[in-house]
Structure 1
Amino acid sequence: MSVFNKEIYDNYLKILSSELIPAMGCTEPIAIAYAAAKLKEVLGMMPEFMTVSCSGNIIKNVKGVVVPNSGGLRGVEAAAILGAFAGNAELELEVISQVSEQERLEAKKLYEKGICRCCLVTEEENLYINISGKAGDDHASVMIKGTHNHIAQIVKNGEVLFEQAEIVKEEKGDKSLLNVRDILHFANEVSITDVKELLDRQIEFNSAISAEGLSHNWGAEVGKTLYESEGDSLRTKIKAAAAAGSDARMSGCSLPVVINSGSGNQGITVSMPVIVYAEEIGADEEMLYRALVVSNLISVHQKRYIGNLSAYCGAVSAGTAAVCGIAYLDGADYDVIGRIIINALGNVGGIICDGAKASCAAKIASAVEAGLLAYEMAKNGRTFAFGEGLVEGDYEQTIRNIGRMGREGMKATDEEILHIMIGV
């Protein structure tokens, strides 16, 4: 292995390790709960009152989703109060996984008393939470920004106790080194022992919540609806497995998932279609791992241009990446996988994100369906012509174009969605 390839190899392992982490519930309310639990830890007792200052994307993604272990509560205030009262900050994005029934009931009483309020912050990045509170003579604040579990600052009684404004690339990996060709090379060459633990957890957790979504009545039951309307073909199984996990997760299911690009829905979407397809064709465990490496990294690669939160629905990039993983299982080469990306993004790139909620499952199903159509076209040598719309002369430039559209072009859309949702 050359020095250049060794750099890529180690960097890609860091990216996978930092991205594929467990979380319980939608990651935006969980990030609020995590910050609130840390606030209580800093104060040494339950805050008497809290203010949660959030970017618009945080508010948008918390408004419509059920907070796990809350008894059906939704919203910023519910997440903050449950996190502060019953959360364990050491568990980070599984912060409220150990809430007892008594704690849930007590937290609900505090919620009804109105001890927390939410404020919109407009001059910060899309993923921003600053929760402040007081207890007795003490006051403190905890800030999260950039990623859902990145504490950027802790202040107590006016003194900065902790500060790390920037996310350290050396620890989490440099995503600027990602590209489709090297991702495929890495997937071919990676030692399975280096990724087995990460991927075993993704397979176990995400398969469990998918099965939960299919076997019980969660959300709008998109996964079940697919079976009822389309039968039990392989194509249906692939879509339904991903959609059903979101059905459960968006409606407050307390099972953990392994996330991708800061999102549990994206983590489910990049993994379940690949897992289902691998089982159907009898692929061995090693090939499944390598295909999951492809799907996870191609999803991260697309999202790094867009950002963790925007008006661009992350199901699109995740669904596209999942089908790239399926194609890898079939032995597809670089150009087929590149054409899948172009064909899928040229079709459904730009589906809007109007917050985390039950309809995310339907958007996941649509994104995976678009990916499957893109693959059928690609393996027959068909692709949208270079130069049409955002489709460019090479695969990487197309990914960059879509990223620019999602990050910059959809800013006004993002703002208008938020205004509609909060009644401005």
Structure 2
Amino acid sequence: MDKKDKRYDAYLRILNKELIPAMGCTEPIAIAYCAAVARDTLGTWPDRVEIYVSGNIIKNVKSVIVPNTGNKKGLEAAAAAGIVAGNAARKLEVIAQVSVEQIEQMTRFLDDIPIRVMFADTECPLDIEVILYHGQDSARVHIMQEHTNIVLIEKNGEILVKAEPQNAPGTKGLPEASGQDDYGLLCMEGIFDFAQTVAIEDVQQLLDQQIEYNTAIAREGLARDYGANIGSVLLKAYGSDIRTRAKAAAAAGSDARMDGCELPVVINSGSGNQGMTVSLPVIEYAKETGAGQETLYRALVLSNLAAIHQKFYIGRLSAYCGAVSAGAAAGAGITYLLGGGYSHICHTIVNALAITSGIVCDGAKPSCAAKIAASVDAGILGYEMYRNGQQFYGGDGVLAKGIENTLRNIGRLGKDGMKDTDKEIIRIMSDC
């Protein structure tokens, strides 16, 4: 792809927007960020707190430990962390630096300050509103569509910041019109061309950070007792061949992240689990095959953008498990490392989606690591199928002829078809 092609700069903007560091599960961190901005707007700690959130936020916050809180869980803990110790300027690393004293203050805050959590009356899957009160003063901050996309800041009824949400197919809108146009330029043919031709210096710093951060948390997940220890279980049960190592690395990163590990990850499509899934299996295969650093960079460009392209149709949060898209994208990156061309990569993705596209998202929790392992396995199997002359065809279930048609069908399934499933999952989780 020539640098004069408008897609070149668009794809770079997308990568720089999506591949950012975050600490902890991004939904509780988004609440902490929203609360920290509200505290700064109020100018003091509140004497009461109200939180309005969409169902998808509730299901993704309920069962994960918020890092740097002394192993606390839940929306109240996330908000308290942001209010007591948050540095709003750091966005998704808002509670990256917390002292022991501040953790003690969080505990006292949760004991002393009433925090009321309510369902938001919204159709947006990612919707967070935090209102803080201190005497007669109040501050209100509203986030929609993306984890740091503030659409409203208000103090004592006076609007300080207001941004109208944009509407776009597949995502219920992206915050900037230029960003919306960028995502519309994504297609697998363009992604493959870009991955082969991008100037390495344009992506090296970004990908070096992804490799460093995500490899570190995977090592941590394998070294210590986190969650259900899916990464360690895989290695103990099935040995240390490359296929198992690829699944175990991604699963171990999720083990650690879901259980409150205080290491950052580089996310993809707003998700740390997806960021680890698209990168760690590819990194493991690069080590196994002795691929050069440039080849690894190009494979990571491919896997990252392939995942983002799929999620454009589905949206940030839904009842469709994001690990499925990421696992298929990892399969594409692995296929590239192993010498596969464009057709081979497309068939790998389609085969993988045919296998695992029924996995539902029932919130962030330890079992995410097992879903990641299954999705990476499907990505690898998708490659092995096509390498051995086998494939699934258009008309098989939700698959269509041509990869772009299949991705649109999967997006329709995840965004529209599973709306009622999502509501039922949230109702079930609310009863537990």
TM-score of the pair, normalised by structure 1 = 0.98
The separation in 1 between residues aligned to 2:86 and 2:420, in whole angstroms, is: 36
1:310 to 311, 315, 318: 318
The separation in 1 between residues aligned to 2:127 and 2:341, in whole angstroms, is: 40
Say whether the 8 Å CA contact 2:7–2:182 is kept in structure 1.
Answer: no
Aligned match of 1:383: 391
1:212 to 220, 225, 239: 220
Is the deviation greater in 11-20 or in 109-118?
A: 109-118
Aligned match of 1:143: 142
The separation in 2 between residues aligned to 1:87 and 1:405, in whole angstroms, is: 37
Aligned match of 2:83: 84
Say whether the 8 Å CA contact 1:205–1:258 is kept in structure 2.
Answer: yes
The separation in 2 between residues aligned to 1:11 and 1:214, in whole angstroms, is: 37
Distance 1:173 1:253, change over 3 A: farther
Distance 1:98 1:340, change over 3 A: same
Deviations 1:24-65 (A, max 9, x none): 000000000000000010011111111110000001100011
Distance 1:156 1:368, change over 3 A: same
Amino acid across the alignment from 2:101: Q
Say whether the 8 Å CA contact 2:51–2:128 is kept in structure 1.
Answer: yes
The separation in 2 between residues aligned to 1:310 and 1:326, in whole angstroms, is: 27
2:250 to 231, 242, 247: 242
Aligned match of 2:130: 131
Secondary structure of 1:260's match?
coil
Amino acid across the alignment from 1:90: A
Secondary structure of 1:142's match?
strand
Amino acid across the alignment from 2:154: V
The separation in 2 between residues aligned to 1:135 and 1:203, in whole angstroms, is: 44
Shift of 1:350: 2.1
The separation in 2 between residues aligned to 1:172 and 1:306, in whole angstroms, is: 14
Shift of 1:108: 1.2
Shift of 1:123: 2.2
Aligned match of 1:182: 190
2:281 is the counterpart of 1:282 = no
Aligned match of 2:110: 111
Say whether the 8 Å CA contact 1:17–1:172 is kept in structure 2.
Answer: no
Is the deviation greater in 127-136 or in 267-276?
A: 127-136
Aligned match of 2:61: 62
Say what the alpha-carbon RMSD is for the aligned residues: 1.3
2:42 is the counterpart of 1:49 = no
Shift of 1:124: 3.3
Deviations 1:202-230 (A, max 9, x none): 00100000000000011100000000100
Shift of 1:2: 5.8
Amino acid across the alignment from 1:210: A
Shift of 1:173: 6.0
Aligned match of 1:197: 205
Amino acid across the alignment from 1:103: Q
% identical equivalent positions: 53
Deviations 1:381-404 (A, max 9, x none): 311122111111111100110110
Say whether the 8 Å CA contact 1:12–1:173 is kept in structure 2.
Answer: no
TM-score of the pair, normalised by structure 2 = 0.96
2:345 to 329, 337, 343: 337
The separation in 2 between residues aligned to 1:400 and 1:212, in whole angstroms, is: 37
Shift of 1:316: 0.3
Aligned match of 1:222: 230
Aligned match of 1:416: 424
Deviations 1:353-395 (A, max 9, x none): 0000000000000000111111100122311122111111111
Shift of 1:171: 5.0
Is the deviation greater in 253-262 or in 121-130?
A: 121-130
Distance 1:23 1:172, change over 3 A: farther
Deviations 1:250-282 (A, max 9, x none): 000010000000000000000000111101111
Say whether the 8 Å CA contact 1:18–1:172 is kept in structure 2.
Answer: no
Say whether the 8 Å CA contact 2:334–2:380 is kept in structure 1.
Answer: no
Deviations 1:328-364 (A, max 9, x none): 1112111111111111111110200000000000000
Shift of 1:114: 4.7
The separation in 1 between residues aligned to 2:200 and 2:181, in whole angstroms, is: 19
Say whether the 8 Å CA contact 2:47–2:113 is kept in structure 1.
Answer: no
The separation in 2 between residues aligned to 1:300 and 1:120, in whole angstroms, is: 28
Deviations 1:294-313 (A, max 9, x none): 00000000011110000000
2:300 is the counterpart of 1:292 = yes
The separation in 1 between residues aligned to 2:239 and 2:273, in whole angstroms, is: 24
Amino acid across the alignment from 1:330: L
Distance 1:219 1:154, change over 3 A: same
The separation in 1 between residues aligned to 2:421 and 2:113, in whole angstroms, is: 32
**Corresponding pairs, count:** 423
Amino acid across the alignment from 2:362: D
Amino acid across the alignment from 1:152: V
Aligned match of 1:26: 25
The separation in 2 between residues aligned to 1:119 and 1:174, in whole angstroms, is: 35
The separation in 2 between residues aligned to 1:170 and 1:176, in whole angstroms, is: 10
Distance 1:417 1:375, change over 3 A: same
Aligned match of 1:406: 414
Shift of 1:135: 1.7
The separation in 1 between residues aligned to 2:20 and 2:147, in whole angstroms, is: 11
2:275 is the counterpart of 1:251 = no
